[in-house]
Chain A
Amino acid sequence: MHLTLEFGGGLELLLENSTKVHKVEVPPQDGENMVTMKGLLSWVKANLIKERPEMFVKGDSVRPGVLALINDCDWELCGGLDAELEEKDVVVFISTLHGG
């Protein structure tokens, strides 16, 4: 499945060359024919995150302080970990900032 992933708020620093936008092909998980957010998170952790994965995921989910958006909508409103992704969806991960 073709997805566009964007990382912001400092999360891009965990990726190779700190690249913010990634156009990727994510395969469905074993025994399924779709990609869920849960599947996407483990795929990102295995394929894109180069360092400090604990700054991105905690358990199955994103760590506290990270907002995940599917097509500009909070993923928790789309079903959270079970949210089913569709071809060409844009998924954004942004870490919250607190400096002033």
Chain B
Amino acid sequence: MGAGGERTEAIMREIASLRAKRDELDSRIRFFEAQLRVGGASPPSTLPPSLSTKLDAMGVHAAAASGGLSPDMVRRYSRQLLLPEFGVQGQRRLSRSSVLVVGAGGLGSAVALYLAACGVGSLGIADGENIMHVEAYVGQPKVKSASAACRAINSSIKVFDHHLKLKSKNAVSIVRQYDIVVDATNSIASRYMLSDCCALLHKPLISGSTIGLKGQLTVYNHNGGPCYRCLFPNPAACQSSSDNGILGVVPGVIGCLQALEVIKVATRVGEPLSGRMLHFDALSSRFKTANKIHQKSSTCTVCGSNPNFTQDDFMMFDYDSFAQSTKSSNKPTPSLNPLPKNARVTCREYKRLLDSGRAHLLLDVRPVHHFQIASIANSVNIPLHELKEKLTRLRDALSEVADVSHGKHRPLYFISQRGDDSQVAVHILRENGFPYASDIVGGLESWAQEADPGFPVYW
């Protein structure tokens, strides 16, 4: 792209940013206009004062116009106002509440949208990442896309973007501004951080999480219920969603349920999921609620009877290493002896071999479902964990290829996604008497960057 193209792009960016600012100003104007309507002077009373006093004594009160809700609010929320459990009081409490949604991924965007639609007073969204999944917003902060969707669905509420990653250093000042916090983050470290912060500031925390086709939901720090640490004093080694697939509706389901719990906590209607935990299994369409989970623990370091965890401790606490500490000990990665140099080729070197048309075998050791998404032409899939058992049969095929290559070049190459498992595979072959295998350095991630820009990137 030439200099002219770059300039056009810069102008487009400027326009987009100005438009976003204008939208934000518009929504604030609309909010204050709505406030004027809500707070409008009530009409003078037509009741004789003596009757008014008598009625008051009976507990019967003359109506304030629309129960204090503006005509716009009545129109907008009439369906939920008609719910006897919810009613005007529920709506009023909701309109006065402020909710912070931390994380604007699958969970957070669902929660935020429903909270905006039902009319919470102010809604904050905090996320430090840029977007990959909403076409119109690719490359922009996730919070911008999420907050724009919220403003589009309800311009009468306040929506605040916090385009930053919430950390112990900056969390207190932001969390303090809100009544209720939603955990829609995606790491163990941020989950401990947010729970500790909410426990210190006595804020209820609506916690949702998903991996793959499963989801969980509970409410922490509410009505004497437990905090995250009461339940899980030590971090667990578990899967991360970035390494695993996820079906968008699953966080959608859990996010909607989180919004529901927020509404219940904010309006004091119903029975929030405190001291209980809901589990959702999408494959079998089963919800399971553990009705009595661990109560608030008296020995909890953060919310117990002798908590010795102050705000200063919190600010200094290194959540990343805390979350890592047990991860590494529970899930040891096999330490590999480095492969000799001649047992490794770069993607470019392998590309040359491929283009030369010389006989060889390329084994792809990724899981089958990865291989099915995208693979190099003529490569053969043997998932790493099946390699050992298939070795005997492989040996015959390999010696054939080795004969054809006449020892002039190496006959066998391994590739994996990042280039780690392929090294493990080469080690396995070397240990089993087959020294002629090479791994392709950097795996398919490098292949897509250096050799084949058209390779479908799914990671």
* Chain A interface (Cβ < 8 Å from any Cβ of B): 8-10, 20, 54-55, 63-67, 69, 72-74, 76-77, 92, 94-100
Contact = CB atoms under 8 A, between A and B. Distances in A.
Interface string B8-25: 000000000000000000
B238 A65 contact: yes
Contacts of A67: 231, 277, 290, 293
B288 A9 contact: no
Contact of A100 (B105, B233, B234): B105
B279 A9 contact: yes
A69 B215 contact: no
Contact of A72 (B215, B289, B331): B289
B283 to A, nearest CB: 9
B298 interface: no
Contact of B240 (A9, A63, A65, A98): A98
Contacts of A72: 288-292
Interface of B: 103, 105-108, 183-188, 191, 208-212, 214-216, 231-242, 244, 246, 251, 277, 279, 281, 284, 288-295, 326, 330-331
Most buried by A among B187, B244, B293: B293
B245 to A, nearest CB: 11
A83 to B, nearest CB: 13
Most buried by B among A72, A73, A96, A97: A97
Contacts of B216: 9, 94, 96-97
Nearest to A75: B294
Given A10-B214, A98-B188, A98-B191, A65 B236 contact: yes
B236 A73 contact: no
B261 to A, nearest CB: 15
A77 B294 contact: yes
B255 to A, nearest CB: 9
B186 A77 contact: no
Nearest to B111: A100
Closest 6 pairs between A and B when the two form their complex, measured CB to CB:
A65-B236, A99-B241, A64-B234, A100-B186, A97-B209, A73-B292
A98 B187 CA distance: 6
A50 B294 CA distance: 29
A97 B288 contact: no
B232 A92 contact: no
17 contacts: A8-B279, A9-B211, A10-B212, A65-B234, A65-B236, A67-B293, A69-B293, A76-B294, A92-B288, A96-B231, A98-B185, A98-B188, A98-B238, A99-B240, A100-B107, A100-B208, A100-B241
Contacts of B293: 67, 69, 74
Contact of A54 (B284, B294, B330): B330
